[in-house]
Structure 1
């Protein structure tokens, strides 16, 4: 038999190289919650300061934060991402709500803002939920391909 010549490696497209350079952190559930809440609080304060509390801008900024939170949470804490995202939305909407009159007035302003901007809230939660579901299915498929289920490989005392 004749040796088969090795094919030269294909060049990697620049877009793929750029995506590989992006950070890919794996945050715990608490870390993802802190990331999302701090980011949304900062974005809400900046929105109030620079754009006088634009609800559309805040909602549009909430969607990528939801996606990043769902992408960056580690696999063991996937279920927490769709729970974290609405809490982060609520934390970030406090500067935008514009309540006055003490704690009760501020609370009512936040509740009203949540009711008015519920579409953005549901949209971001849906984004996080879909991403976490896809990640979970990919994880389960990878485990199945490796030949072990959730309990591990079949042993001498286990039926396969």
Structure 2
């Protein structure tokens, strides 16, 4: 697994781009299945929390819901102009909030565990060679 190298902004851009790509592929291949979109959201949220730098760990649970909202547009099913698109987006976000909460929880748990490990390593006395 690669070392954490993404900044907070880089993690957010990665998550948003990945979810928009997944949303577009889901629309093309699976006829806009929000179940599959939500299922793919979980590993993207986990990867974002794993690949962000330790200094930017707090951004992982913040960028997860933003990425979910950024990528749900292709699969939201809105039609009939701007108002129809907005209503489709709001409906998709409200009806599939369980996936949103689950992915945010995954990102938050990974960030908390990584931070606890970092704090534990910092507090351990250094061994003398």
Instruction: Give me the TM-score of the superposition, normalised by structure 2.
Output: 0.93
User: Aligned match of 1:46 in 20, 25, 50?
Assistant: 25
Moved more, 68-77 or 105-114: 105-114
| Structure-2 residue corresponding to 1:102 | 81
User: Aligned match of 2:67 in 84, 88, 107?
Assistant: 88
Displacement of 1:146: 4.3
Aligned length: 126
1:34 matched to 2:10: no
Partner Cα separation in structure 2 for residue 139 and residue 23 of structure 1: 17
| Structure-2 residue corresponding to 1:70 | 49
What residue ranges of structure 1 are gaps of 5+ in the alignment? 1-21, 148-160
What residue ranges of structure 2 are gaps of 5+ in the alignment? none
- What is the CA deviation profile of residues 97-122 of structure 1, one whole-angstrom value per residue up to 9, with x for unaligned ones? 12123322211111110011111000
- What is the CA deviation profile of residues 38-92 of structure 1, one whole-angstrom value per residue up to 9, with x for unaligned ones? 0000000000000001121111110000000000010111001000000000011
| Structure-2 residue corresponding to 1:19 | none
Partner Cα separation in structure 2 for residue 41 and residue 135 of structure 1: 27
> Which has a greater percent of helix?
2
Cα root mean square deviation, aligned: 1.2
- Which protein, 1 or 2, shows the higher relative CO under an 8 Å CA cutoff with sep ≥ 6? 2
